[in-house]
Amino acid sequence: MLDLQKLSPRSFDWQLFVCVVFLVMMGLASVYSVDLSRGAELFYFKKQLLAFGIGLFFLFLASISQHILWRYLAKWWYLFSLALLAGVLIFGQTIRGTKGWFSIMGLSFQPVEMAKISLILIIAYIVSRFGRRFDRPLFFFGTGIVTFLFIGLIMLQPDLGSALLLGSVWFGMIWAVGARRLFLAGFVGMVAVLAIASWFLFLKPYQKDRVANFVNPGRDPLGSGYNIAQSNIAIGAGQFFGRGLGFGSQSQLRFLPEAQTDFVFSVIGEELGLAGVSAMLALFAVLFWRLIVIIRQSNDDFVATTATGILILFFVQLITNIGANLGLLPITGVTLPFVSYGGSSLVINLLLVGILESMMVRKY
């Protein structure tokens, strides 16, 4: 399954790789800055640096594999991810009210990150086996079932942000390949009804507060609206060039909650300013452009659909995280890919880049 001979400096997509490395470096700098306010141990920075090293190993290992390996693994990876999501509900560790982590020898692993790559691969596998008859009900409901098995287990943790993210990836992928529009419209209508029902039946008080703060950010600026208020202050204080790494008052004095994860964009905005934010967005633009190149050049349904799923995953995460930091979207706990602190997320994201490289090397 591995092919070591075809990987060469010319075939490797260096533009994709370099922009991803710069995004990770920007994230490491932000995590380091946040860690400065917590003492000399640099706990988060060291763990993120270790995850970066592990992720690079998996990136290069994936890039030297034949793309058919991922088609073969799709079903098994999906079943393995289902088992992990079920297992974490029994044996997992609870962090911030969510039972979604395995803790092994001091290291934490979040199975939902594995589910992201599994969902993309299994949908791409189904697409490649369906003979381009994507308007058939079986395609819509079949992909829907494999997706909502994941979502159901994730909601039991509960992790609303990840559940919404996986649902968005599924919807975006089947829309992109040409699922029947009537089914898509019906699904949107059903989601609207469920959203209203969930408000009264399922959402927890803190989740309702997040939605209410999105609608009216000033309703409780010292309570449930505190996070958004501090985030906006941090971003505005950065102006054009920022206050400098380690000199952001909001992050250094811990006014900004979860600065290394949910609100890392605000840290960049305060300490690196508009210039730093613009540089980060430019790197994401290059990343998305390279993904579009892979999709357009591919003549293989599995390759094109996999790249499409990865593009949607990164884009939805980017929009959701930045929108929450700016107060334009509710806070759902979705992190900024490659930039936010999170070892599981970083390793899986780098593995996804390696899968893309393996497909790009073959020049489909």
Q: Give the model's confidence band at 218: pLDDT under 50 very low, under 70 low, under 90 confident, else very high.
A: low
Whether 212 has a pLDDT exceeding 80, the answer reads: no
Whether 134 has a pLDDT exceeding 90, the answer reads: no
User: What phi, psi does 32 have (nearest 5°)?
Assistant: -60, -45
User: Worst-scoring range by mean pLDDT, 142-146, 250-254, 328-332?
Assistant: 250-254
Whether 223 has a pLDDT exceeding 80, the answer reads: no
Helix (H, G, I), strand (E, B) or coil at 202: coil
Neighbours of 194 (CB within 10 A): 12
Whether 81 has a pLDDT exceeding 70, the answer reads: yes
Higher pLDDT, 81 or 204: 81
Neighbours of 64 (CB within 10 A): 17
Question: Of 316, 274, 280, 203, nearest to 29 (Cα)?
Answer: 280
Tokens of 208: 């309702």
> What is the number of residues in the chain?
364
Residue 327: what pLDDT?
A: 82
Rg (CA), the chain: 20
CA dihedral angle for residue 243, residue 244, residue 245, residue 251, rounded to 10 degrees: 0
- Average pLDDT over all residues of the chain: 86
Q: What is this structure's pTM?
A: 0.92
Residue 157: what pLDDT?
A: 92
DSSP string, 135-198: TSHHHHHHHHHHHHHHHHHHHTTT-HHHHHHHHHHHHHHHHHHT--HHHHHHHHHHHHHHHHHH
Residue 363: what pLDDT?
A: 54
Higher pLDDT, 252 or 291: 291
Give dist(CA 17, CA 354) in Å, integer. 9
20 alpha carbon, distance to own chain's centre? 14
Cα torsion 176, 178, 183, 186: sign: positive
Q: Please state the domain extents for the chain.
A: 14-359
| Mean pLDDT calculated for residue range 6-14 | 69
Q: Give the model's confidence band at 253: pLDDT under 50 very low, under 70 low, under 90 confident, else very high.
A: low
Share of the chain above pLDDT 90, in %: 47
Higher pLDDT, 3 or 106: 106
Asked whether 88 and 95 are in contact (CB, 8 A), the reply is no
Tokens of 145: 């079932």
Give dist(CA 76, CA 125) in Å, integer. 12
Give dist(CA 350, CA 347) in Å, integer. 5
Tokens of 363: 């020049």
**DSSP tag of 37:** T
Question: Of 197, 187, 168, nearest to 309 (Cα)?
Answer: 168
96-110 burial by CB neighbour count: b if 16+ within 10 A, else e?
eebbbbbeeeeebbb
| Mean pLDDT calculated for residue range 98-110 | 80
Helix (H, G, I), strand (E, B) or coil at 91: helix
Helix (H, G, I), strand (E, B) or coil at 92: coil
Residue 227: what pLDDT?
A: 73
Residue 141: what pLDDT?
A: 92
Give dist(CA 210, CA 244) in Å, integer. 30
Asked whether 256 and 267 are in contact (CB, 8 A), the reply is yes
